[in-house]
Structure 1
Amino acid sequence: MLKRLFATRKHPCMPGLNTPEHITVNLSGSVLSLKLPPHYSSDGFEAHCEPIDTMNIYDPTGYSGDPMGTAVFNRKRFISRAWELFGPLTRLRNIGSISFVAVVERIDSLPEGMSCFNPNHFEQVINRLMFKMGPETPQIDPKVAPVNWCTEVKNDCLWVCYEMRKANDGDPNSFAPSQFSSYAVTPLDDHHYIRLMFHNLGYKPAEYSNRFVNSVRDKVLNSVTLTLSEYAQQRKVEVQSQWPDATISPQRQPYNWVYPEWRDGDTNKGERHVVITQYHTQPPKFHL
């Protein structure tokens, strides 16, 4: 029985993994194409956001943001679905799940003259986003990032992939090693980019859980193609001509963040829900 249970954990299955849907989304003339397994919930819950065929990324309506911290990011979701993982002995009870979300994100705090089409500037944008999701969200479990950072150029578009993981709390029984998020990001114009997110709730042993959820992620990402709009292509050429030697780090090590001191805000007095009272690691600053 133990051997069979161990095999279950090593080789989970996911409904629809081998019968993905081909999805195409027009984002103000830039066309994203990818293959996604269909949404599946054993409890019957529908997907939060079925794929949107066409989105005007320049329409300010529909964007949501996080006012925390000193950098301003806003996002508009265009796909959101969930996948459940099963083992042959678990019957109708899942042993893990993956939540997939695709958003267009806009950074409003990028200084004038900087562009996401400049690889160095884009890395700074991602650095600022990671800090916002890490130390500037101190009420959530501390994070470690970037983990497994890598870059790839597909169809002349730069993609950056990395993971954010929970910091090791020293608990040998913790599920934290198999519960993490993966991201793939690519520019759409000077201030907009696509972010594809995979939020994993895995099982133990983490070695086998992570191997499987990462294989699902890689299968999706290998199907992705992005064709930039004529405007975006022209703007990209202009930026590359302005900064011909700009580069992005091919590999990265995680930050050694020290989380800030904070308190619960008094919303009746107009404060945010979380008030950071003292930074220990300072927010990264943008530089040309």
Structure 2
Amino acid sequence: MFNRLFASRKRPCFKQPRQWDTLNLDLSGCEFSITLPPQDYEFPEEKYGKQFNLFQANLYRYSEKPDRNGYPPTFKGVSDSGILKRKWQTYGSIWRSRHLGTLQCSAVVCDISRMETNFDCFNPEQLERLLLHSLYYSRGPGFGLNEHTTPVNWQIKTLHDVDWVYYESWSRKADWEPTNTPFNDESRFTAWLATPLFKDKYLLVSFSSIGSLPAEPSNALMFSRINAIIPSLKLKLSPESTQQKASARQRNPGARYSTQRDPENWRYYGSYRQGDFMAGEDSLVFEGECSPPPKLY
């Protein structure tokens, strides 16, 4: 309550609930838990259930078409509705009824069983390549016009004896964008954590921030909540996945994650225009050459 009394754009705050709650999820025998504050948002929290069959094909949305540059489909699957999503708003002055920003925590399961790489998610070097390839399509040139600096602050976090790959993506203005836009790029970022579940599946937890200006206090507030949640992440592998992990280590005993990475030097699209419907074009046409997807071999 006192936080809100003295809040402002320079001192934004979250509502401070008395209790946080722990979500316990059964992911085909893998036990995942995370402790979070209750949702504080305009709409009720979406409920996804507590038990998921990760080997059920209709759980995923697969990439089955060439991308907008004509590169072949990846056939990677991402759980269509996710397995959890929770949002919180940030606030300024108490006489301002509208919130300043939003932080969302969500989690999805990624399925690589249909990809042609024959990769093993328990091989750290191969999972790292998969994560960079995924970044290309979620925050890189494969995503569209919006440019991001990524990966940032790459590191390996060990949480309750499980290694998680942590990295961030930061929004930035493209050269062709006007200087003054309604988007606060310097306070828009996503922090990701990834870890294997099975040889062909991995868990991806994300924290997406749409902050306010000035960016520094907004970002500091967002990270204070993110860093309070991250230590609660717990994962206990199933007997099957534990055996798969041991087999991967036996086959590749020297495989390691990179301890740090510089942001990718991807070239994005130069501009865009409205498509010509009569000529069979998409509603938006992206112009200029961009970097190709990272190679998976």
The residue number in structure 2 matching 1:137 is 143
Contact 1:68 1:272 in 2 (8 A): no
Contact 1:25 1:51 in 2 (8 A): no
User: Shift in Å at residue 273 of structure 1?
Assistant: 7.0
- In structure 2, which of residues 166, 185, 188 is the aligned counterpart of residue 179 of structure 1? 188
d(CA) in 1 for partners of 2:265, 2:281: 29
d(CA) in 2 for partners of 1:158, 1:274: 40
In the alignment, structure 1 residue 191 sits paired with structure 2 residue 189: no
Question: Equivalences for 1:94-243 in 2 at 5 Å?
Answer: 94-107=99-112, 108-109=114-115, 111-112=117-118, 114-133=119-138, 134-138=140-144, 140-169=145-174, 171=179, 175-243=184-252
The residue number in structure 2 matching 1:64 is 61
More moved, 205-214 vs 9-18: 9-18
* SS of corresponding position for 1:115: coil
Contact 1:145 1:255 in 2 (8 A): yes
Number of matched pairs: 279
Amino acid at match of 2:245: K
d(CA) in 2 for partners of 1:275, 1:242: 46
* SS of corresponding position for 1:25: strand
More moved, 67-76 vs 89-98: 67-76
Amino acid at match of 1:75: V
Amino acid at match of 1:54: Q
d(CA) in 1 for partners of 2:294, 2:230: 29
- In structure 1, which of residues 242, 247, 254 is the aligned counterpart of residue 263 of structure 2? 254
d(CA) in 2 for partners of 1:29, 1:228: 7
Amino acid at match of 2:61: S
More moved, 21-30 vs 251-260: 251-260
Q: 1:93 to 1:68 in 2, by over 3 A?
A: farther
Q: 1:89 to 1:198 in 2, by over 3 A?
A: same
In the alignment, structure 1 residue 22 sits paired with structure 2 residue 22: yes
Contact 1:188 1:228 in 2 (8 A): yes
d(CA) in 2 for partners of 1:90, 1:230: 54
More moved, 74-83 vs 225-234: 74-83
Amino acid at match of 1:13: C
Q: 1:230 to 1:266 in 2, by over 3 A?
A: farther
d(CA) in 1 for partners of 2:13, 2:173: 28
Give the TM-score of the pair, scaled to structure 1.
0.86
Percent of aligned positions that are identical: 29
d(CA) in 1 for partners of 2:224, 2:163: 21
More moved, 76-85 vs 163-172: 163-172
* SS of corresponding position for 1:254: coil
d(CA) in 2 for partners of 1:28, 1:269: 47
Gaps of 5+ in 1: none
Gaps of 5+ in 2: none
Contact 1:23 1:51 in 2 (8 A): no
Amino acid at match of 1:136: G
The residue number in structure 1 matching 2:51 is 54
Give the TM-score of the pair, scaled to structure 2.
0.83
In the alignment, structure 1 residue 36 sits paired with structure 2 residue 36: yes
- In structure 1, which of residues 262, 283, 287 is the aligned counterpart of residue 293 of structure 2? 283
Amino acid at match of 1:152: K
The residue number in structure 2 matching 1:75 is 78
* SS of corresponding position for 2:33: strand
d(CA) in 1 for partners of 2:53, 2:163: 22
d(CA) in 2 for partners of 1:192, 1:160: 15
**CA distances 1:35-61 after superposition (whole Å, capped 9, x unpaired):** 0111122x3x112x3252100010111
More moved, 272-281 vs 254-263: 272-281
Over aligned residue pairs, what C-alpha RMSD do you find?
Answer: 2.9
